[in-house]
């Protein structure tokens, strides 16, 4: 079955690429205003704000529903290509979101939990094998906002040396940590260029 196939009834038809992107943006739009302002456990009793849980649940439900509908429409390579395209769009929207808004440590824990739910679904899809590293990075992204500077340095170095991501691509996320201007985090950011050189040398030696 080709990509022109549609589902019945009318309201359950698979959206075009433009409509899919619009749906994804609408599902994610509530997260920024609450994610960055999560209270720390030391300041007052920590509770998960309802908008965050609702947004995560909405996206989670959307991914399950679209996967179910897709299985009814495509198979084989068409199925893999469609779901991989959708996964790429979701990943891009999530990465863009976390480059825009400051996240504190408590918010980072919620980010990690949300991303774990999303990546569990993506891993259940028959995606192109080349997408696997992207899922791994997405699953670990929340840790960038949680771990201390020394652990952060080692984690980033491991990603770069394994070729999962380029150092310069991480700078935008690190700057959005609540302590992004601290000496420790700035030291990690300044070392990203050298990490890139280390990866190149490792690849040449392999």
pLDDT-derived band at 17, boundaries 50, 70, 90? low
Return the minimum-mean-pLDDT range out of 80-84, 94-98, 120-124, 181-185: 94-98
Element (H, E) at 183: helix 183-190
Q: Bigger pLDDT: 53 or 120?
A: 120
Say if residue 172's pLDDT is above 70.
yes
CA dist 59 and 158 (Å) reads: 30
Q: Considering Cα of 111, then 113, then 117, then 122, what sign does the dihedral take?
A: positive
Residue given tokens 């920024």 in the structure block? 32
Helix (H) or strand (E) segment spanning residue 126: none
Query: Looking at residue 59, what is its pLDDT?
Result: 85
Burial zone of 68 (CB within 10 Å; 0-12 exposed, 13-18 middle, 19+ buried): exposed
Residue 47 has pLDDT above 60, yes or no: no
Q: pTM for the complete prediction?
A: 0.66
* Other C-beta atoms lying within 10 Å of the C-beta of residue 74: 20
CA–CA dist 90, 119 (Å, integer): 10
pLDDT score for 1: 41
**Residue 35, pLDDT score:** 45
pLDDT band at 202 (very low <50, low <70, confident <90, very high): very low
124 pLDDT band, cuts 50/70/90, is: very high
Round to whole Å and give the CA distance between 91 and 196: 23
Copy the structure tokens of residue 104: 């504190």
Question: Distance between CA 32 and CA 41 in Å, rounded?
Answer: 20
Rounded alpha-carbon distances, angstroms, from residue 168 to 48, 91, 189, 194, 195: 32, 18, 9, 10, 9
> What is the distance between the terminal CA atoms of the chain, rounded to a whole angstrom?
43
The residue among 183, 182, 185, 181 whose CA lies nearest residue 144 is: 185
Tokens, residue 16: 């075009």
Three-state SS for 115?
Answer: helix
Domain positions in the chain are 8-37+47-146, 147-206
User: pLDDT confidence of 42, banded at 50, 70, 90?
Assistant: very low
The C-alpha atoms of residue 151 and residue 134 are separated, in whole angstroms, by 21
């Amino acid at each position: 079955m080709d990509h022109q196939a549609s589902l019945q009834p009318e309201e359950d038809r698979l959206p075009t690429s433009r409509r899919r992107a619009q749906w994804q943006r609408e599902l994610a739009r509530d997260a920024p205003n609450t994610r960055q302002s999560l209270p720390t456990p030391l300041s007052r009793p920590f509770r998960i704000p309802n908008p965050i849980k609702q947004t995560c649940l909405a996206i989670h439900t959307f991914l399950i529903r679209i996967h179910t509908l897709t299985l009814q429409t495509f198979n084989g390579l068409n199925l893999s290509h469609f779901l991989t395209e959708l996964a790429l769009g979701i990943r891009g929207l999530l990465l863009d979101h976390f480059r825009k808004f400051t996240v504190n440590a408590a918010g980072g824990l919620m980010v990690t939990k949300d991303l774990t739910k999303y990546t569990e679904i993506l891993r259940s899809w028959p995606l192109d094998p080349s997408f696997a590293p992207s899922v791994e990075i997405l699953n670990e992204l929340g840790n960038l906002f949680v771990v201390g500077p020394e652990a952060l340095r080692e984690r980033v170095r491991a990603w770069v040396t394994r070729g999962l991501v380029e150092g310069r691509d991480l700078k935008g996320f690190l700057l959005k940590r609540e302590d992004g201007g601290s000496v420790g985090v700035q030291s990690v950011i300044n070392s990203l260029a050298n990490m890139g050189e280390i990866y190149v040398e490792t690849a040449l030696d392999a």
